[in-house]
């Protein structure tokens, strides 16, 4: 189960990496000011922690949300490359800023430690994928990256191809008294990914139920399209 890569690196900027999503964790203790001026960050800090990956944005954002909860780091940029190595979704670039390199390293390490968990409700098939996320209390990475309300429950219901995500979203909103934050589609709110993604907030139990309702119909629809059961690589955490 341990897919973490060798971390006996001699490069001080390297924190760790995981085969899950081809995710790398990095730290820049004191960033060059000329580079900082060229970055599109919402606040300037000299010390940066970085999570960057090929496959997955939601899992890495929710993993870093634990990283910022555990430290004093601020999320200052979340970007969404259209990647997934031929799949229909996103990779991510997440930058957190602060004043203490040890704190940055700790935030990145906590994020890496959470990747397997937050990948638990990503379901893959040759025809597409589903992603579900849930937290009872969102922090600043979920806010910057996904529009979550800090301190409140947050859920993500996502399906690829995007039409499946649309039906999942409809089912989720009909199930429980939750409030939609946004619904993203290929041309609106994504980087042209082939996903329909609903984000929701509200009472913690209701958000969880809505996420599970979306998952249930998503698994059936993607199963119909793929002629095979969509599979998660890590154990589901939403139950």
Q: How many Cβ atoms sit within 10 Å of the Cβ of residue 187?
A: 8
Phi first, then psi: what are they for 113, rounded to 5°? -65, -20
Shortest distance (Å) from residue 204 CB to a copy of itself = 19
Strands 196-202 and 179-184: antiparallel
Shortest distance (Å) from residue 11 CB to a copy of itself = 5
Q: How many Cβ atoms sit within 10 Å of the Cβ of residue 125?
A: 18
Between CA 27 and CA 25 the distance in angstroms is: 7
Segment 160 to 179, residues that bind a copy of itself, using CB under 8 A: 160-164, 166-167, 169-170, 173-174
Segment 92 to 131, residues that bind a copy of itself, using CB under 8 A: 93, 95, 127-128
Stretch touching a copy of itself by CB under 8 A, among 14-22, 64-72, 135-143, 204-212: 14-22
Among 141, 193, 202, 206, binds a copy of itself (CB under 8 A): 193
Q: With respect to a copy of itself, which residue has the nearer C-beta, 39 or 136?
A: 39
> In the chain, at which residue ranges do the beta strands (DSSP E only) sit?
14-18, 23-28, 47-53, 74-79, 92-98, 122-125, 128-135, 153-160, 179-184, 196-202, 231-232
Segment 196 to 215, residues that bind a copy of itself, using CB under 8 A: 196, 198
Among 107, 122, 183, 207, binds a copy of itself (CB under 8 A): 183
Segment 33 to 92, residues that bind a copy of itself, using CB under 8 A: 34-35, 38-40, 48, 50-54, 77, 79-83, 85-88, 91
């Amino acid at each position: 189960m341990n897919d973490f890569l060798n971390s006996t690196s001699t490069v001080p900027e390297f924190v760790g990496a995981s085969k899950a999503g081809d995710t790398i964790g990095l730290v820049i203790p004191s960033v060059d000011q000329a580079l900082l001026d060229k970055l599109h960050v919402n606040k300037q800090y000299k010390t940066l922690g970085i999570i960057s990956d090929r496959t997955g944005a939601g899992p890495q954002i929710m993993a870093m949300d634990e990283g910022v909860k555990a430290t004093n780091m601020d999320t200052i940029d979340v970007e969404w490359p259209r990647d997934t190595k031929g799949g229909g979704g996103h990779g991510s670039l997440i930058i957190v800023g602060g004043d203490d390199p040890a704190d940055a390293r700790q935030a990145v390490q906590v994020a890496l430690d959470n990747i397997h968990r937050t990948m638990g409700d990503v379901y893959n098939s040759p025809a597409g994928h589903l992603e579900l996320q849930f937290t009872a209390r969102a922090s600043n990475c979920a806010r910057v990256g996904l529009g979550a309300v800090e301190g409140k429950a947050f859920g993500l219901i996502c399906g690829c191809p995007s039409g499946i995500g649309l039906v999942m979203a409809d089912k989720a909103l009909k199930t429980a008294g939750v409030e939609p934050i946004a619904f993203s589609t290929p041309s609106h709110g994504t980087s042209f990914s082939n996903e329909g993604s609903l984000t929701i907030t509200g009472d913690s139990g209701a958000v969880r139920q809505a996420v599970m309702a979306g998952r249930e119909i998503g698994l059936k629809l993607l199963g119909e399209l793929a002629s095979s059961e969509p599979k998660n690589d890590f154990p589901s955490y939403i139950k």
